[in-house]
Structure 1
Amino acid sequence: MNFLNQFIERDQLIKEWIYDAAKTIKTSFNVELDIQQKSNRNDLVTNMDKAIEKLFIEKIQQYFPGERILGEEGFGDDVQNLDGVVWIIDPIDGTLNFIKQQSDFAIMVAIYENGKGQMGYIYDVMQDKLYSAQKGSGAYCNQTLIPVVDDKPLKEGLVAISSALMSKEEGLARIVGRASSGVRLIGSAGIETAHVVSGRLIGYLAASLAPWDIAAGKVIAEEVGLVYTKLNGDSIDLLKKNASLVAAPLAHKEIISLLSAENKV
C-alpha cells in the first residue's frame, strides 16, 4: 500500500467521518444516555461510544475493505499483531468527562502499517480543534502547522498526570510535580497529549493507557519532536496497556531519571 498516493483521499474521508461523529455526539446532550460500568465505577461506556465506533467501522469496511480495525468497544477485529494496515480507534476518549462535564473529550483515529504509525487524528470536540499528522509531513491543528516543540527543561513547564497515576503513585506524582512548574489533570489522554503537542504542557504521564489511548497521539507527538515511551523508557507496545510518558526530549530524559531514582529508593 502506498500511503503517499492515498493520503489525500484517506485524510479527507477521515476528517468527514470525525466531524459527522462529533455532530452525532453533540445531539446526545439532549437525550438520556445508556451508561454502563466496565471495570469500575470510573470506567464507563455509553451507547454513544458504541454507536460512534460502529459508525467508523462501517465506513472503513466500505472504503477500505480488508484492513483490520482495533477499537476500544470491541466491535472491530481480534487484532493479535500489527501486520499490514490496522486502524486504531477510540470513539470517545474521556467518556467520564463526556458524561459528567460535556467537555474535555476527544475522538481519536490512527492508521498503522506493519507497526509503524502513518496517520493520526485527535479531535477535541467541544473546542473544535482537530490535531492531525501524517508520518514525515508534520502535524497540524486544524489547518495550521504545529511547530516543533520548544525543548525546555522540566522545571520550565507544566505536566499532566493521569488520575490513576496520581492515586497509585503519590510519591512519584509529588516528585515530578516539584521538579516541574506544576501538575495538571484533565482526564482524557487525547486532550492531554494534544496539549503537550501544542506546547501548553511539557509532558504527560499515565499509569495505564490502552492502544487506542496512545496510537493517534503517538503519531502526532513524534511529528513535532516529542518522545513517546513507556514510563521506564522502553518502546510502546500497541498490543497491550502501557504505563506511558510523552514529553519534550529534555523533560522526557529528566522524568525517566527521576522515576528511575524513585524506583531504587
Structure 2
Amino acid sequence: MYDEKQLVSRVTTWVLACAEYARQNVEQIQDIKQKSGEYDLVTNLDTTIEAKIEAQIHKHYPDALIIGEEAPKQHLTTAQGLTFFVDPIDGTLNLVKKRDCFAIMIGVYDGERPICGAIMDVMKNQLYWGGPNIGVYCNDTPVTPPEDSLLKDGLVGVSWRQFLGNRFNEIKIAQKSAGIRVMGSAGLEFIEIMNGKHIAYLATLNPWDFAAGQILAESLGLKVVKTDGNRLNRFKTNHIIAATPTAYQQIRRLQHF
C-alpha cells in the first residue's frame, strides 16, 4: 500500500527539483541526437532528468511500472498497481532551438484509476498539478474549470504535421474556430486548455505525452478522448481530441469517419 497524499507530494517535489536542474543547465545542452527523424530529438538533459525521476520512483515505489519517453519501450495492454508515465522534456525541439517552451511531465495511475498528474512549465516556473480527488492547482493557486464556450469563440492548438496532413479535417475545424496555434509541447497545450486560453487541442501523442495532461484536464471536466470518441489507450500512440465539452461535440460533427 501507499499513501496517496505522500505520493502526490513526492511527484511534485521531483518535478520541481528537475525543473530547477533544467534551468541551471539550459545553456549547457550537449549530445543532441536524432530519434525517428531530423526534428525528433533527445539531449543529455532529457536522459539525465528521466534518470533522476526513475531513481526516485525505484527508491520509493520499487514495484511500480515506469513508462518513460527515453526508456526502453514495453509492449503492454494493461497494468496492475502503480504506473508512472514520465516525459523528462516535453518539447525538446523547443528546448534546442529556443531554450524555452518545454515542460516536464509525470502522470500516475493505479491500475485503471488516475491518481495525479504534474506538468511543469520549466522556464515560467509554473507547476500544474493535481488529480480527481484533490483538484488542480497552478503552484499553490486552485485552477477553476474553463468556460464551456463555442468552437467559434476559441483558439485550437494543433500539431503542425497533423494539421497539414488534414487527416481528421483539422483545416475545416480551424476554419470554424477563432484560429489555430502551434506550441510544440503537448504539456503546454494542455495548460492552455486548462486555463481557458485554448478551447481544444488536436494531436497524435504517445502515452507519456498525454498521461499527465489527461488526468489534469479530466479533473477539470474537460474531454480527452480519441478522435473517434473512444477512450484513450494509455499504452499506445493515440490520435486525440482534448477540448471543452461543447467544442468537443462541435469538432466531432466536423469530422468524418
Q: Equivalent residue for 1:246?
A: 242
Post-superposition Cα deviations, 1:188-245, rounded to whole Å, max 9, x if no partner, equal: 0000011101111000000x20000010000000111100001111110011000111
Tell me which of 104, 109, 112 is aligned to 1:115: 112
Scaled by the length of structure 1, the TM-score of the pair is 0.92
Residues 88 and 215, structure 1, Cα contact 8 Å, conserved in 2: yes
- TM-score, normalised relative to structure 2: 0.95
Q: Structure 2: any 5+ residue segments left out of the alignment? A: none
Q: Residues 125-150 of structure 1: CA distance to partner in whole angstroms, max 9, x if unpaired? A: 01111111122321111111111221
- Aligned-residue offset at 1:116: 2.4
Q: 1:146 aligns with which of 139, 143, 149?
A: 143
1:162 counterpart residue number: 159
Q: 1:90 aligns with which of 87, 92, 95?
A: 87
Distance 1:190 1:203 in 2: 13
Identity of aligned pairs, percent? Answer: 35
Higher helix proportion, which one?
1
Alignment-mate amino acid for residue 164 of structure 1? R
Partners of 2:4 and 2:110 lie apart in 1 by 13
Secondary structure at 2:255's aligned position in 1? Answer: helix
Is residue 2:207 matched to residue 1:211? yes
Corresponding position of 1:30: 27
* Conserved? CA contact 1:53–1:75, under 8 Å: no
1:68 aligns with 2:70: no
- One-letter amino acid of the counterpart of residue 86, structure 2: I
CA displacement, residues 152-191 of structure 1 (integer Å, 9 cap, x when unaligned): 1111111101122122217823211111111011000000
CA RMSD of aligned residues (A): 1.7
Equivalent residue for 2:15?
18
For 1:76 and 1:65, the matched residues in 2 are separated by 19
Moved more, 138-147 or 246-255: 138-147
Letter in structure 2 aligned against 1:217: G
Give the total of aligned pairs: 257
Retained in 2: the 8 A contact 1:68–1:79?
no
1:179 & 1:117 partners in 2: Cα distance? 33
Displacement after TM superposition at 1:79 (Å) = 4.8
Shift of 1:64: 1.4
Q: Residues 168 and 255 of structure 2 are in contact (CA less than 8 Å); yes or no, is this contact kept in structure 1?
A: no
